[in-house]
């Protein structure tokens, strides 16, 4: 889980983490704000392109019920951990 910053950039802490552990990451949930227009949650797209990690969901604030549902579904489907 990460956020988008400064016109869709991947935060440095996220980038550093992914450089080390990208092979163990199964998907990205990215928070952002729709006020940023086409840059809303763009970090998720950058991560998908650069590291080949699927973008599971973009969400605002703490996520709405539907965002939480989709994220749980993803975890259930791909890992069976819930």
Give the footprint of ligand FMN on this chain (CB under 6 A): 3-8, 31-33, 36, 39-42, 60-61
Nearest approach in angstroms of CB 23 to ligand FMN is: 25
In eight-state DSSP terms, residue 11 is P
Residue 27 or 41: the one with the smaller Cβ distance to ligand FMN is: 41
CA distances from 18 to 10, 24, 51, 59, 78 (A): 10, 9, 8, 20, 20
Nearest approach in angstroms of CB 75 to ligand FMN is: 20
| Residue least distant from ligand FMN (Cβ) | 32
Residue 66 · residue 38 · CB < 8 Å:
no
């Amino acid at each position: 889980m990460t956020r988008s910053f400064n016109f869709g950039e991947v935060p440095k802490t996220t980038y550093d983490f992914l450089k080390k552990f990208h092979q163990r990451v199964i998907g990205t949930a990215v928070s952002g704000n729709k006020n940023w227009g086409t840059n809303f949650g763009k970090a998720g797209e950058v991560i998908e392109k650069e590291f080949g990690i699927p973008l599971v969901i973009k969400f605002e604030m703490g996520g709405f019920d539907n965002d939480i549902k989709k994220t749980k579904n993803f975890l259930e489907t791909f890992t069976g951990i819930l």
